[in-house]
Chain A
Amino acid sequence: ETGVTQSPTHLIKTRGQQVTLRCSSQSGHNTVSWYQQALGQGPQFIFQYYREEENGRGNFPPRFSGLQFPNYSSELNVNALELDDSALYLCASSLGARDMNTEAFFGQGTRLTVV
């Protein structure tokens, strides 16, 4: 148990719809990173939030957006869903900003299927 929780665990959406995924970070952690993991691939970095501000972004289009709240929980929003967005979405919690390179602990993930 990492203390990082994600909801929902599974989700089916239609192409063109919007989706919001949620993550509660481990107690004491102030940084949340989001990853997309396609089948058979390693996780791909989407973005990171540190103290409620975006603190780095991977190679994902603007329709992927996020928020971090004062309690350090976070949301990932994806607009205009495409079939290729079907993947496991992972949230990782850590302490400190990205340049501190500390250990990150994952939640159980949200499996998103776009049909």
Chain B
Amino acid sequence: QKEVEQNSGPLSVPEGAIASLNCTYSDRGSQSFFWYRQYSGKSPELIMSIYSNGDKEDGRFTAQLNKASQYVSLLIRDSQPSDSATYLCAVNNNDMRFGAGTRLTVKP
């Protein structure tokens, strides 16, 4: 079992729709959770961090964490073509472990 699992995609949504990205992790001791966006050929860019159960909203982005289910998700509302990228889920318990990423395409 991989430590951090994400659907590789590609996930395709129309412009203006909600994109839902999911991530599960295996280490129950994980303390902090991050979502990074990575455009092709670029480095990862931090977009959200979440540390406690529940929802955290920042603009069009909402991160959701459920530690009992070992599940973290990212919702992107009103998706834009510029949101097209690979989204990396990262889980931190001393070491930051990344999933392989989900490729999101937002079609105009």
A interface residues, Cβ below 8 angstroms from B: 2, 33, 35, 40-45, 48, 56, 58, 88, 90, 92, 98-99, 101-109
Contacts and interface: CB of A to CB of B under 8 A. Distances in A.
Interface string B95-108: 11111110000000
Interface stretch (B14-22, B43-51, B63-71, B72-80): B43-51
Interface string B40-66: 001111100101000000000000000
A104 B92 CA distance: 10
A43 B46 contact: no
A43 B45 contact: no
B88 A43 contact: yes
B42 A108 contact: yes
Contacts of A90: 43-44
Contact of B96 (A33, A40, A108, A109): A33
A99 B97 CA distance: 14
B44 A43 contact: yes
A50 B4 CA distance: 25
B92 A101 contact: yes
B34 A103 contact: yes
B99 A98 contact: no
A100 to B, nearest CB: 9
Given A33-B96, A56-B95, A108 B101 contact: no
A45 B95 contact: yes
B43 A106 contact: yes
